[in-house]
Structure 1
Amino acid sequence: MIITALIPSFLFISGLVSNDGLVAFLSSIALLLLARLWRNQVSYSTVALLGIVLGSAALAKLSGLLLWPFAGLMLAILAWRRRSLGLFVRATTLAFSLAVLICGWWYIRNWVLYGDITGLNMMLDAVGRREPGFELQDVLGDFQAIRWSYWAFFGWANVPVAGWLYRVYDLISLVALIGLGFYIVQAIRGRRWNDLLAIVFLSIWSSMIILGLIRWTLATPGSNGRLFYPAISAISLLLARGWLQLVPQQGNAKQWTVLGIGIAFLIIAGYVPFFVIAPAYARPPFLSLEEVGNYVSQRMNIHFEDQITMLGYEVDRREVKPGDLVWVTVCWKGERKIEEDYFVFVHFLVDHDLIAAQKDTYHGLGSFPTSLWPADVAFCDRYPLVVPDTTPDSNQGLLSIGLYHRTGERVQVYSEDWQPMGDSIRFAGPRVVFPEGQQRLNYDWGHQVALVDYQLDKTVVVPGESLRVSSYWRALQRMPADYVVTIQVMDERGTKIGQSDIALSVEGQPTSAWQPGTIAEDHRTIQISPNAAPGVYEIKVGVYEPSTVQNLTLYRNRQVLSDGGLLTLWKLRVLSGQPLQE
């Protein structure tokens, strides 16, 4: 099982406090025991051990319950093969009685506490559910992330390996699948039924886990390749069988193939911890004050109270397009030993101090919090900012950097000569520009109609004032209904201060009369409530069918977005005051 042992993600998960490794181990033992029962005389000690494993697997993880119907099916086939109904009754009674004794209390507890024998609904309430309308075809949008994380994805799905390595894994998986197909054809032609049954045995279990993962993906966005791991030993055996089928069957070709695969997997498994995972979590290197100048273009000495000094900064670009990633380098020095772990924030501000992008984290992106800083030691930190693709153009952006306590209270900032500067330091940031001749947005609702652009006449208002919103739409296919576009202005708690719901139309034609590719312009005025409190609000857009008043599922690049079918276009700042008389 060298393949299983050297899959980087499985090694990573095995080093964590996680039930994934345990359920993979117990599932592998269950498969081994079932194979032993199939090949040898039925031993009730083996059946009893199988029952213990089934109960332990169901206690370790809910997916371990899938072993129960699989084991029942295998025992039924075994009894049919031996023409013994009594064997089936005795074996299943012994195995499942022991399994229930081991894990039954847990499921009874779930029923008593939650009214749900599996406790699954409570978990879904905690991790979040899919939006209504997410269907089987949408699971394909998660397929890349699932298969990549099966092989090599680390952290909280935020530390990938190089893209070429994923392509290698895809290629060897495809090769194995082709080889397995040839093996099955040859087994059928040669009437090697035992060989074929072994493939069927492994394939049934793998398919059950795959179906379970699909069911989970339909229920919640938390799908990951590690959820395949109960079938990892079966998948590895199928991969190996496929590879070996494609090499010459004479001589030492098989041995050399196994050795080559093992060495390749070993090299990758040895490379990942030191050259992928370790750098991602390494703390920044210590620098002398002279070396700081090699990392930043702007030097300064800004004090955060009397504990921390900001030595300089650098922004990696002067212009950004919506959707771009911007890196901001900031150099720091602790003036003395710090007991508290401060948070650092980096905000990218556009017109009217609206936040386009932000990063709130510990220093070192979590690897070097302030309580670990030695006194009088300098280092430089890099912060990634992703500019939303809905960001409006801006003549000049600003970057705002500061520190705050765990309570949220910000640390006061002082200039080099100790003059108060407020609770953050601001400096010029990149300008937001739009690429010419390109479609700006790629959001669609129900794969029916897509939003391709929008414009606002203002981003700051006073209560009672109006906001002009223009949006531009494209039909993706013939639509079965006359859809309505809703644009809502609300705060983070969902309190609305303005809303407009108008059916989309082109020259009086509703969406049901549009041809694919039809372009529509929608211009509307939204009246802001005269009772709106000062603050920052979000402008959201959705599409719904009037008969249901249910927003269609929102997609971006065919990926489902979980936000109730509402897309946040941009933000609106409401000031105190009276609207201007026109």
Structure 2
Amino acid sequence: MARWLLIGVVVGLALLTKEGTFALIPLVGGTAVLSQWQAYRAKTEGGDLTWRQWLAVLGRGILIFGLTMIPALLIAGWWYARNLNLYGDLLGWNAFIAVLGQRAHPASLIQLWSERRGFLMAYWGLFGGVNIPMPAWIYAVLNGVLVLAVAGFVVYVIQLLKDWKFVVTSFQSFLSNLFLFVERYFALVVCFLFASAVVYGLIKWAATTWSSQGRLVFTALSALCVLLVVGLAGWLPPRPSRWIVGGLAGFMFAVAAAAPFLWIQPAYATGRYTEIPAPTETAVTFGDKMQLTGYELAQKDAQPGDEIDLWLEWKVLQPMPRDWSVFVHLTDPVLGVPIAQRDMYPDQGLRPTSLLRPGERIVNFYRLRIPDTAVAPADLELNVGLYDFETGERLVLPDGRDLVMLDMVRLTAVPGQTPNPVSVNFEKGVELVGYELEPRRAAAGEPLNLTLYWRLNRPLPEDYTFFAQVVDEDTTRWASQDLPVPTSAWETGQVIPVPMTLTLSEATPPGVYPIIIGLYTLTEDGSFARLQRITADGRPTDDFLQLTLARVD
């Protein structure tokens, strides 16, 4: 019994560490029943058990399982009780979702499959804040090994089933054969069931949140590695098996040993930029602490979807006990808010200002991407400043301003047959090819006139309702319209304008609000079936598009 209590301690510690280890609980229960079957089978000298004996096996197994879970409950139970008390959720998932964010539309298996590339990269090795990858060829090799291992595992299991002699004369004999099989391949069965349960849990989690990352199955990493090796070598003769496993282990060891020096350390090396190619000199002082001595803007003309490169040169004037972040904004003067921005500590985010010494000069590089749906033409302001991320406080200039406008970027429209040409694909071949919003700034109670330009890339047999909404951060709708459109009558390839009017509520508070759009049809039970957006690489994503912004005065 001491061993079972020790197992309970291990399970309790596991449950306190990772929620994915809940899969251990049914495995412990199954193992307890299996152990009692072994004891009864020894008494019958290998014969089939009677129904009474099977009931005894089940009862004793449940009893042992219950006793085993006592230390697990004592160690980890308080934590899950706390989750239930604080969040109303045993696992605390709602608290996680509040921080991580939730998919607007639960992901299907097809959508999760489309996210496999990022999942596998994070499984094999994606360092830093999942933003420092290894060379692509390493992922290609490891993914190839995985494909071979999956195929090999199927071959291995088929061989096992062929070699196993099932003699079934009654349901009791079927149970006996099943338990004999589990007993013989106990380690493999446990690894497979545990890994499957962890992967299933991740699928449920990733369907709700944007978290298709392979690192989240590391709870079952040891079991997955066992299955990988079995798939690669379990069905082969011993000699080639040793060479295959040894070669893979050597390759993975070499990659792991090289990673800190070849990819991680260079990504965090300071002083990557030491000078500006052709700077425009400035002398802008922020709070007597930092001085902007020069900048270079790579281009002053751009179109929606373009990237703007900027270099800033700073001089440290005084020691700073607080850490100030540099912000770079491309601000739309009509809205008064940035449409593209980049915030980071000096030296590419690697050196907090509290570590800087007076007299130091630091060059930072910034790349800002203008959204594809940005309104053009427009004159965007390039604004720079420093702020405290914790409090939002900004360092001020001698004249009291909290930012400096360095330059202007002229945003011109992409050539096309519609205003503000875009290419946003939805399911079933529906494509948004342009839009127009007039005015972009209005008072509460006034209308916003929105025209959407749509094109069908293949026939659409159903009629859809188009929606547009002015929403707040908490999804409060301050204006909306749902417009039924006979899309089934549209011709393929033809651009169709769909005018909509969004009349702002009289109670709309002043501020800048996103406008979201999409289309849906009603199902037989009256629920909304929205079309999902399709990314450029073919992945389904949200069932709406945040199109642009509007200011309410």
CA distance in 1, matches of 2:87, 2:473: 30
Contact 1:285 1:379 in 2 (8 A): no
Pair 1:487-2:468 in alignment: yes
Contact 2:121 2:214 in 1 (8 A): yes
Letter of the structure 2 residue corresponding to residue 341 of structure 1: D
Match runs of 1:515-530 below 5 Å? 520-527=496-503
Q: CA deviation at 1:553?
A: 6.0
Q: CA deviation at 1:69?
A: 0.8
Name the structure 1 match of 2:8. 51
Name the structure 1 match of 2:414. 434
Describe the SS at the equivalent of 2:292.
strand
Q: CA deviation at 1:347?
A: 0.8
Match runs of 1:408-557 below 5 Å? 408-413=392-397, 423-429=403-409, 431-434=411-414, 440-444=422-426, 449-461=430-442, 466-475=447-456, 482-490=463-471, 492=473, 498-504=479-485, 510-511=486-487, 520-527=496-503, 535-545=511-521, 550=528, 552=530, 554-557=532-535
Name the structure 2 match of 1:570. 548
Describe the SS at the equivalent of 1:429.
strand
Pair 1:170-2:146 in alignment: no
Pair 1:311-2:284 in alignment: no
Name the structure 1 match of 2:124. 151
Question: Among residues 215, 220, 223, which one is paired with 1:231 in the alignment?
Answer: 220
Question: Among residues 243, 250, 270, which one is paired with 1:283 in the alignment?
Answer: 270
Q: CA deviation at 1:229?
A: 1.4
CA distance in 1, matches of 2:547, 2:126: 31
Pair 1:97-2:70 in alignment: yes
Name the structure 1 match of 2:346. 363
Describe the SS at the equivalent of 2:115.
helix
Q: CA deviation at 1:191?
A: 4.2
Contact 1:57 1:64 in 2 (8 A): yes
Question: Among residues 349, 359, 362, which one is paired with 2:331 in the alignment?
Answer: 349
Contact 1:469 1:524 in 2 (8 A): yes
Alpha carbons of structure 1 residues 130 and 262: separation in structure 2 relative to 1, 3 Å: same
Deviation digits for residues 355-392 of structure 1, max 9, x if unmatched? 22112333234321211111101111122323222112
Contact 1:188 1:196 in 2 (8 A): no
Q: CA deviation at 1:45?
A: 3.9
Alpha carbons of structure 1 residues 188 and 435: separation in structure 2 relative to 1, 3 Å: farther
Q: CA deviation at 1:195?
A: 7.2
Alpha carbons of structure 1 residues 488 and 56: separation in structure 2 relative to 1, 3 Å: same
Name the structure 1 match of 2:172. none
My pick for the range that moved more, 132-141 or 220-229, is 132-141
Pair 1:380-2:363 in alignment: yes
Describe the SS at the equivalent of 2:321.
coil
Q: CA deviation at 1:481?
A: 5.8
Alpha carbons of structure 1 residues 258 and 489: separation in structure 2 relative to 1, 3 Å: closer
Letter of the structure 2 residue corresponding to residue 441 of structure 1: S
Q: CA deviation at 1:114?
A: 4.6
Contact 1:554 1:567 in 2 (8 A): no
CA distance in 2, matches of 1:310, 1:516: 54
My pick for the range that moved more, 423-432 or 52-61, is 423-432
Describe the SS at the equivalent of 1:363.
coil
Q: CA deviation at 1:235?
A: 0.8
CA distance in 1, matches of 2:33, 2:495: 60
Letter of the structure 2 residue corresponding to residue 271 of structure 1: A
Letter of the structure 2 residue corresponding to residue 540 of structure 1: I
Name the structure 2 match of 1:107. 80
Contact 1:293 1:299 in 2 (8 A): no
Pair 1:336-2:323 in alignment: no
Describe the SS at the equivalent of 2:383.
strand
Describe the SS at the equivalent of 2:347.
helix
Letter of the structure 2 residue corresponding to residue 101 of structure 1: L
Describe the SS at the equivalent of 2:191.
helix
TM-score by length of structure 2 reads 0.80
CA distance in 1, matches of 2:120, 2:74: 36
Q: CA deviation at 1:492?
A: 4.8
Name the structure 2 match of 1:60. 17
Match runs of 1:130-145 below 5 Å? 130-145=103-118
Letter of the structure 1 residue corresponding to residue 319 of structure 2: K
Contact 2:270 2:350 in 1 (8 A): yes
Describe the SS at the equivalent of 1:454.
strand
Alpha carbons of structure 1 residues 408 and 133: separation in structure 2 relative to 1, 3 Å: closer
Q: CA deviation at 1:490?
A: 4.6
Contact 1:133 1:553 in 2 (8 A): no
| 5+ residue gaps, structure 2 | 42-55, 166-180
CA distance in 1, matches of 2:467, 2:530: 11
Q: CA deviation at 1:261?
A: 1.9
Deviation digits for residues 224-258 of structure 1, max 9, x if unmatched? 322211211111111122233587644xx444433
Contact 1:182 1:245 in 2 (8 A): no
CA distance in 2, matches of 1:247, 1:392: 62
Name the structure 2 match of 1:36. none
Question: Among residues 224, 238, 244, which one is paired with 1:257 in the alignment?
Answer: 244
TM-score by length of structure 1 reads 0.76
My pick for the range that moved more, 195-204 or 67-76, is 195-204
CA distance in 2, matches of 1:223, 1:177: 20
Name the structure 2 match of 1:212. 201
Question: Among residues 254, 259, 272, which one is paired with 1:272 in the alignment?
Answer: 259
Letter of the structure 2 residue corresponding to residue 381 of structure 1: N
Alpha carbons of structure 1 residues 168 and 434: separation in structure 2 relative to 1, 3 Å: farther
CA distance in 2, matches of 1:363, 1:551: 47
Describe the SS at the equivalent of 1:140.
helix
Describe the SS at the equivalent of 1:413.
coil
Letter of the structure 1 residue corresponding to residue 218 of structure 2: Y
CA distance in 2, matches of 1:574, 1:112: 41
Name the structure 2 match of 1:202. 191
Letter of the structure 1 residue corresponding to residue 202 of structure 2: L
Alpha carbons of structure 1 residues 462 and 46: separation in structure 2 relative to 1, 3 Å: closer
Contact 1:51 1:95 in 2 (8 A): yes
Alpha carbons of structure 1 residues 519 and 77: separation in structure 2 relative to 1, 3 Å: farther
Contact 1:317 1:430 in 2 (8 A): no
Contact 1:187 1:196 in 2 (8 A): no
My pick for the range that moved more, 546-555 or 94-103, is 546-555
Q: CA deviation at 1:569?
A: 1.2
Query: Aligned pair count?
Result: 513
Describe the SS at the equivalent of 1:364.
coil
Letter of the structure 2 residue corresponding to residue 541 of structure 1: I
CA distance in 2, matches of 1:205, 1:336: 57
Letter of the structure 2 residue corresponding to residue 369 of structure 1: P
CA distance in 2, matches of 1:489, 1:118: 34
Contact 1:551 1:566 in 2 (8 A): no
CA-based RMSD of the aligned residues comes to 3.7
